Every structure is written in structure tokens, then in C-alpha cells.
Amino acid sequence: MASDILTSTFMRLRRRLQANARRMLADDSAADDALQDAFYRLWKHRDNIVTDSQAEGMSVIAVRNTCIDALRKRRDSLPIEQAEAEIDDCDGNNDRHEIYEAVRKIIDSSLSERERAVITMRDTLGMEFSDIADELGITETHARMILSRARKTVREIYRSSNKNRI
């Protein structure tokens, strides 16, 4: 019974949900993927859905959250070379280029060899934590911790040296 409520409500709202996903993701195939992923997420909780309004609310929220996850994944997977190219392509963005160069100098001068390796593998090469861990002979958790601390160090040094710009 609960699966009938979820399925019928989701199918009734499909066009509206797809339009919302398309607006957020600006891509038809990504919007379709988001809908499928959202329905899959909801299907796991189908026994907890009792009413049509509950199914409708959960569907809207699930699609929205799935789109946000997809956008975060896109943002997190942007390699530094691509970001550099985008910065160089922009007219009048000398400030961005200066900021990038300042951060690059901080990374090169202030981080340990291991921290530089982790930040380069993750942010420049776009490697997964499991691959970084295998490459360095450490655990994934340790790789995440090293990256987090390295980014924090860079952020603190940059902020302290550029107080007048921030």
C-alpha cells in the first residue's frame, strides 16, 4: 500500500520535479538521473510513507537534495588546472589570479612534503581518497585529515598575510 502511494504521487509530480531538477542542474540527463536517484532514496523509506501529502513533500525534498548533492559533486571534482584555465579566460580577473598565485606560494613554502602531496593529488589531480591513501601507504581517514589540516594551514596563513584585502 505504501509503495502504491509513493509511486502514484511521484509519477503525478514527475513533470514538476523534473522541471525543478532541470532548473537547478541545467542539464536534461542530469535532471533525469536526479529523479531516479531521488526515487531510489525514497523507495528505501516507502513503508514509512502514509499519506499523499507526506509522499509529495518527501519527493520534493528528495529531488532538491539529490540536485544539491550533484552540484556539490561537480564543484568538488573541478581540478585546479581547469579552474586555472577558467581564471585565465576571464577578463579583468587579475585579483583572482593574484589570489591563486599567493595560495600556490603558501602551499609550496609552508606545507610539509606529505601535505603538498595530498593537496596536489586531491585538488590538482582530482584523485579519490582511496587512491591517495594507496599511493602514500596511509589510511583514507588519515589522508582526509592531512588534507583538512593542510587546507586549514593555507587558509590561516593567507588570511593573516592578507588582512587588508579581506
pLDDT in tens, 6-62: 888 889 989 999 988 888 888 888 889 999 999 998 888 888 888 888 889 888 898
pTM of the predicted model, to two decimals?
0.47
Query: Where does residue 19 rank: exposed (0-12), middle (13-18), buried (19+ CB within 10 A)?
Result: exposed
Cα distance between residue 22 and residue 145, in whole Å: 35
Q: Above 70 in pLDDT, residue 159?
A: yes
- Quote the DSSP letter at residue 122: I
pLDDT, residue 149, reads: 94
| pLDDT average, residue stretch 96-115 | 87
Each as own residue / partner, the long-range contacts of residues 141-149 (CB below 8 Å, 24 or more positions apart, any chain) are 143/118, 146/114, 146/115, 146/118, 147/118, 147/119, 147/122, 149/115
Q: Across all residues in the chain, what is the average pLDDT? A: 83
Phi, psi dihedral angles at 77 (to 5 degrees): -95, 5
pLDDT, residue 152, reads: 92
